[in-house]
Structure formats: structure tokens, C-alpha cells
A and B are shown apart, each in its own frame.
Chain A
Amino acid sequence: MTGKNRDVVVTGLGVISPIGFNVAELLSSLQQNRSGIRLWESSALAKKLPAGIVDRDFAGEFTKLDLPYLDRCSQIAILAARQAAFDGGLEQFAEYGQRAGLFYGSVGGGVKTEHEWVRQFYVEQKQLSKPYTIMACMLNAAPAHISIRQQILGPVITHSSACTSSGTAIGDAYRAIRDGYLDVALAGGAEAALLPTFVALWGGLRALAEADPDDVGRSCRPFSKNRSGLVLGEGAVYLLLESRDSAMRRGASCYCALTGYGIASDGYHIGSPKADGQIAALREALRDAALAPEQIGYVNAHATATPGGDPIEANALREVLGGVPVSSTKAIHGHLLGAASAMELAIAVLAVHKSFLPATAHLDEIDPTCMLNHVANTPVFDHPVNHALSFSAGFGGTNVALVVSREDSLPGKAS
């Protein structure tokens, strides 16, 4: 242990998402409000649906000796984690011994591999899978591969709390560094489950948005009066977190500091959110960051664009944060499930780092039950953000709020 209550800084970001395959592309899409929602289709499903698609096959990034173990989810997780480490000036973590950790969130893990095996079992009557299948589909496959590749030798932990999975992962990484257990951690999440079987599960919930007939890119409309549901997405996002002392020692630059984490559960219903739990998480994050509500300059909301969820969240945000500017960038990247919290925290990081307010796209008519200080349709530039908050709420009732703050004691990132 080297002391408790240490400051935690964000020294690297890695992104593979529907709106960018790196930080620069993500920033450009946010600033131009460029939608990554496209029409997704499968020969097995009659209906075509909008989805936040990562339109690239990454198998070519790996050897054929690697691939048997690597579901698409692991592939993008490995690449995003490597990006975040490189962005932070690190490649290998062995020198940190057990003081480097990896915290990962996912809902489905190797869904593609698992569902393909189920098909082989029932349709082809195969009695045994390939030897690797179990290791390719297990939920902790991706972080295990990252740990092996980048020699992360401390805790390697998988979180799964639905849409807050990567948020709790980042929160626990932050606490481990703050409390002196670790010096550095990669924290984030990944999801790659755009498969007919998985999409149809969400269809069964009657929670998915219809494709906008004029422009599929406008199909996800959080807080809008004419929203029609959530849009599933895929992607992987990682943050490199470390103690300020560790970053200073190695002369690293940083995006900002991670200053607050609040987690609270509804204890109410498996699929319906409750404002009380959300309010508790938001208040805890503010308390942890030692900030008053009015000091928060931007909130990236969870807002999945479901009819029931958005008004409850708007209530909670109003109750705790009053008139703070709010947006839901899911309008352009969709719901990344296990990677959602990490994606949206990365966007909050960029809001602080680049002094702008990302917008909620397609918010032409605000639902009166979702009244907030909306950043509607157009990002606000040259707008200093000293503190930003990212909020997520998951099925099962876990709520997470994370706060990032401007950091002036370390050199800022050039990009």
C-alpha cells in the first residue's frame, strides 16, 4: 500500500464503436453529430432493424492460431484495450506486478460463438463442441486474453450488471487505485451480440426502435416525444486509469481526473427502473467527488429512448442535478450494453478535455415528461466543462454514476 485517497487520472482511451474506431474518430463524430446507426438485417429474421454497427471484420488483426479462442467480443475488447494502453504510453504491465489490474464489463461475452454452438447442437446434431468453444464464449474470455497479452498480473475481474457492467468495472478500478491497492488499471467493456437470436430476445421485450423510414440514422431518439425504443449497438471501450503519482512518475499526459463514483440499486423490479435508486447513485457520486450539483457542467444520460425509462431517469436527473446540461449520445451510437457506460464515460471525458457539450441528436420535439436542460440537436462548442457526469441504469436495478473533472497538474493530451 502506498496510501489511501489518491487522485485517479485518465491517461488513455481506446474506442471501437459505431461512431469511430479510435478517439479521434469518436470526437469527430460527436462534434458533427454523425450517426453510426445503420440498417441491420439477417436472413433468419424477417424484420430489418436499426443498430449501432461496428462495420468491420477484425479477424484479420489476429493469426489463425489466435482465432479459435477469440469471439468477436474478445477481438474488439483486445484491440480497444491495446489502444487505451498505447494512448497512455504503455504496452506491457509486467513491471507493475500485482499493482496493475483489469476491470471489464459485458452482458453476453462470446455470444456469437455460443449461439453458433447451440445451432450446431440442435440443427446439425453435433454431440461435442470444438475443444475451444467453452473458452471462446465464457464471459471472462476477453479480459483473460488482455491480461495474457499485456501481462496484467493483478486483479482481472469481470463485471456483469446489464447496462451498467462497464460502469461498475470502471468504478471498482477507480476505488482500487484511489484506495492504494493498484497503481494502474485498464477498465471498460465490450459487447458484440448483433445476432438474430440475441436481437430477437430484445424484440421479444417489445423494446426495440423501428427503423426511421426516411433516415435510419435517426431511429434512436432519446427524450423525444416520438421515440420508439432502444437501438442495440456493439463496441468496446477502455480507459487507462492510474494514480496521479504514477502518471507523474512516468511523465504521462492525461485527459482528466476520475473524481467520483456512485452506485446504488433499486431493489424494486427486474426490468423496470425506479427513480429512488438512480437518485441515490447520482447523490453518492457527487458526495464522492465532493461537488455540489451546480458544479457539474455536463451529464451524459443513460436515456435508451424507451417510452418508460426516459421519464423516470429525467425525474432523477432533475431531482439531483436541477438545470445541468444533459444529453444522450445513444441517439448516434445506440446502446452498447456491456460497453455502454464506458462509451458514455469516454464521451464525458472528451467533453471535459475538449470543452464542448455533446448533443442529443434528433431531439426536435422534447417529451414533456422528460423536461431537462437538454443539449438538443447541436453540440455546444468552446464551452468549458470542469466536471462531467455519466449515468447508467441497468436491468436488475443497478445504477452507476461516474464523475470526471478537469486536471491541470499533468500535461493535457495533445489530441
Chain B
Amino acid sequence: MDAVHIQTVIKDFLAERFDISADKITDNTAIRDLGLDSMMMLEVMLELEDRLGIKLKDLSMPANPMLRDVVALVERNQSAQKR
């Protein structure tokens, strides 16, 4: 599963659930700037677990995460699972 795929899954969910158009989101878009609060972020994480079939054990992220930070979080958890 590469970064582009993870990004697509996140963007699809944000569009479906919160009406946020994919073209508004870049790697450097802060999730908070899209109008998501911490509980909505939590739902994004839970949804990623379901859609990607993974378990996110390490949820640490910078204070105001950008899309690329979420992607990095997923990749970090994936590689931890493989080890």
C-alpha cells in the first residue's frame, strides 16, 4: 500500500462523510483547516483502520497535523506491523 493509495482513501472518506472536495486537499493541508476537530480526526483514523484493514497502534502526530502527517502515521503503523 503506497502513499498515493492511502491519500486517496483519506480523500474519498473526507468527501463522503464531510462533503470536503478532494481538490481542496494537498499534502500540506492542515486537517483543522478543513473544519475537522479532534473527534472527527478520531473517526478518520477508525475509518482508515476499516478501509485499509490495519490496526493503528501508534496515533502520535504533530499538534496541527497535515494530510502528509496522517499518511506518514499509517505508513509507520504498517511497517511496525510487518516487523
Point out residues on A near B: beta carbons under 8 Å: 63-65, 68, 130-132, 135
Contact = CB atoms under 8 A, between A and B. Distances in A.
A65 B36 contact: yes
A65 B43 contact: no
B63 interface: no
Nearest to B39: A131
Contacts of B18: 63-65
A64 B16 CA distance: 9
Contact of A64 (B19, B39, B42, B46): B19
B42 A131 contact: yes
Assign chain B's interface to a size class.
Answer: 10 to 19
B22 to A, nearest CB: 14
Contacts of B17: 64
Nearest to A130: B43
A132 B39 contact: yes
Contacts of B39: 68, 131-132, 135
Contacts of A65: 18-19, 35-36, 40
Contacts of A132: 39-40, 43
A64 B34 CA distance: 12
B19 A68 contact: no
7 contacts: A63-B35, A65-B19, A65-B36, A68-B43, A131-B40, A131-B42, A132-B39
A64 B18 CA distance: 5
Nearest to A65: B35
B11 to A, nearest CB: 15
Contacts of B19: 63-65
A65 B36 CA distance: 7
Nearest to B41: A131
A78 to B, nearest CB: 17
A135 to B, nearest CB: 8
Contacts of A64: 17-19
B31 to A, nearest CB: 12
- Lowest 10 CB-CB distances: which A-B pairs, in order? A64-B19, A131-B39, A131-B42, A65-B35, A64-B18, A65-B18, A131-B43, A132-B39, A130-B43, A64-B17
Nearest to A63: B19
Contacts of B46: 131
Given A65-B19, A65-B40, 6 more contacts: A63-B19, A64-B17, A64-B19, A65-B36, A131-B40, A135-B39
Nearest to B15: A64
B77 to A, nearest CB: 18
A116 to B, nearest CB: 16
B65 to A, nearest CB: 16
